[in-house]
A and B are shown apart, each in its own frame.
Chain A
Amino acid sequence: MWARLWAIVTKELKQLRRDRMTFGMIVMLPLMQLMLFGYAINTDVRHVPAGIVDLSQTSYSRQLFQMVSATQVVDFTQRYYSAQAADEAITRGEVKAVLLIPADFSSRLVLHPAFDHNREYSPLTRPVAQWLVDGADTMVAAAMRSLRNMPLTELTAKGVTLTAPSFEVVQYFNPEQRSVVNIVPGLLAIILTMTMVMFTSAAIVREREQGNMEFLIATPVKPVELMVGKIVPYVFVGLVQASIILSVGHWVFAVPVRGGLDSLLIASLLFIFASLTLGLVISTLTKNQLQAMQMTVFILMPSILLSGFMFPYDAMPIPAQWIAEVLPATHFMRMVRGIVLRDADVFSLSKDALWLLGFTCVGVLVAAKRFNKRLE
């Protein structure tokens, strides 16, 4: 039993070592994804291309222009001379937003409580200027809305007297609110799902396609030996990838790893096993590598969309949450963010850990059962 298992493991490792393509993917895939998600996909909106229509042409209006530029939320790249021209520019997609400063800007300003604290808000209070926003991209629109209550006191030389906010918000973790801090651990879950499921889902069909399987099933090898022997080498692959992602995340994107490395190792192992068995089950369900690939994508999409990587789990509709609960990625996402960002340990996350463990056991059984030593 052990000798055969060992023989299969070493065979897989040797084959993996000679398969340059796969070998390269193991290293390049996490690096590329990390760079893509880390740099390109940035949910902190900055530098939105914008235009300005200044119908007031006063020193105040120029000051307002300066102030808004200083926030860096928008980059003023265009200047228009009428509201209509601005309108057309947005439709053309030239800019995403336009700041429209009306001709009576100065008189509105002096009546505005944000400018003069002695005044009260009244139904007659009018906003001092207007933002025209391309609302198609909700992320951009939300960023523009955040400018709505910009204090205008800087326009006066009177110094700052802020109104007291209703709530004080104390932020635990991620004080600078950088989305990359949340993305990197999440990416660990996504990349592992992608590679682990992909490698093993092809594992058995490939041998079937290449004809190795006909020889193998004519030998005394047992299905469980074959199944376990096929996933063990990829456990190491998974750990290598996890190390790459977390160290690059740490060195390049300054993502802190607060939790213990032991908790992280256990959580990663549990997830790697769960994903590998998922791939194996796929492998026993499909007839060729193309089908296996399609099934992998079928698993991967909800893992990306529903696991909490893209959207907060709690904000999803209940049926989506149910689907998410079935996916190993969701449980790992919770665990890894807990460990990496909040210094949680595996025991405080035992529900998710147990779930992954159960998933693996059931998966191996199903795969071994589905894989009968027949050609049909």
Chain B
Amino acid sequence: MTHAEIALKADRLTKRFGQLTAVNQLSLSIERGAIYGFLGPNGCGKSTAIRLLTGLLIADEGEVTVLGQPLAGHEEALKSRIGYMTQKFSLFENLTVLENLRFVAAIYSVKGVQAKKRIDELLQLYGLSERQQQLAGTMSGGQKQRLALACATIHHPELLFLDEPTSAVDPENRRDFWERLFDLSAAGTTILVSTHYMDEAERCHGLAILEHGIKRADGAPRELMQSMSANVVEISGDSLRQVKQRLSALPDVISAAQVGNHLRVLVSKSVDDAIGLLTPFSDNYDLALVRPSLEDVFVSCTGGRHVG
């Protein structure tokens, strides 16, 4: 793809809440049909960024272009072309699944036979057919999440925003959920999804790592891992905690974290021989250079200040 269509573009987006800058000079560009992820810890500005991109909050600085139109001034027209699944369950807990779907269909002006067909289709697709008459508030996290996705996609949006859609869902449901996202993406829907799970972030076509509202890295997960500014050394042996303390004091060591019975050490790329640097501090241990994971990328981007 040399000349892909851009579905969403943001240019130096900034949002302040009093003293706090929740989103700071965020620029990004998402191709049509891609799944793009926001990865970052709680409070890093993922939700705020999504609200800015959907026009629910007004940016202090910067511009957004959605589906080829500037967002400012076209918010209402664009709302029928985008779907938004909020972080907190935002459908009506004292309405049934079917009532919620019918309500949302009417709000998006999906009418009559078409609405009925679409609702049946969604109930089928998201495995909610048997629960049509159940009150939304009485469902499990995974079921609520599927209902929310069904509602957010009822009008076939071209652009879909999902704010931490899997935070209240067990791993198996998460996998199914991502299958549905790939289906949507294959059908041409552009998806922006925020998460703080590494495994989910790794499935995205493109990824932005956010910290304190600032974008620290942007690219395909594989690219990010390859172009990482650190080498990863895995150390195995006994009493790793002492080694960890010794290594953490070194200026070129970005971070050292225990993973099972290994110690995973990130060493700045400015050091040519990472193993050589570490060996004097860890005699009698096995040292090996390993392939970086997305978590390593995340840690090296954020300077090891956060994990997960």
Chain A residues packing against B (C-beta within 8 Å): 3-4, 6-7, 10-11, 14-15, 18-19, 210-221, 373-376
Contact = CB atoms under 8 A, between A and B. Distances in A.
Contacts of A373: 56, 75-76
A4 B56 contact: no
A222 to B, nearest CB: 8
B95 interface: yes
B99 A11 contact: yes
A18 B54 contact: no
A4 B84 CA distance: 19
A340 to B, nearest CB: 37
Interface band, chain B:
20 to 34
Contacts, number: 76
Interface stretch (B104-112, B194-202, B260-268): B104-112
A221 B86 contact: no
Contacts of B75: 373
B91 A18 contact: no
Given A6-B106, A211-B86, A375-B51, A218 B79 contact: yes
B58 interface: yes
B79 A211 contact: no
Nearest to A6: B106
Contact of A7 (B58, B76, B88, B107): B107
Nearest 8 pairs between A and B by C-beta?
Answer: A7-B106, A215-B90, A218-B84, A211-B88, A211-B90, A220-B80, A220-B79, A18-B94
Contact of A215 (B51, B76, B84, B94): B84
Contacts of B104: 219
A6 B80 CA distance: 19
A293 to B, nearest CB: 20
Interface in B242-300: none
B103 interface: yes
Q: Is the interface of A mostly helix, strand, loop or mixed?
A: helix
A374 to B, nearest CB: 6
A7 B107 CA distance: 7
Interface in B22-62: 51, 54, 56-58
Nearest to A222: B76
Given A220-B76, A374-B56, A3 B109 contact: yes
Contacts of A6: 106
B178 interface: no
B109 A220 contact: yes
B89 interface: yes
Given A3-B111, A11-B103, A211-B86, 18 more contacts: A3-B106, A3-B109, A7-B102, A7-B103, A7-B107, A10-B103, A210-B90, A210-B93, A211-B88, A211-B89, A212-B90, A215-B90, A215-B91, A216-B90, A216-B107, A218-B82, A219-B107, A375-B57
B107 A221 contact: yes
B80 A218 contact: no
A17 B56 CA distance: 31
Given A215-B84, A373-B75, A374-B56, A220 B107 contact: yes
Nearest to A213: B90
Nearest to B88: A211
A217 B56 CA distance: 7
Given A219-B108, A220-B107, A374-B56, A19 B94 contact: yes
Interface in B110-140: 111, 135
Contacts of B111: 3
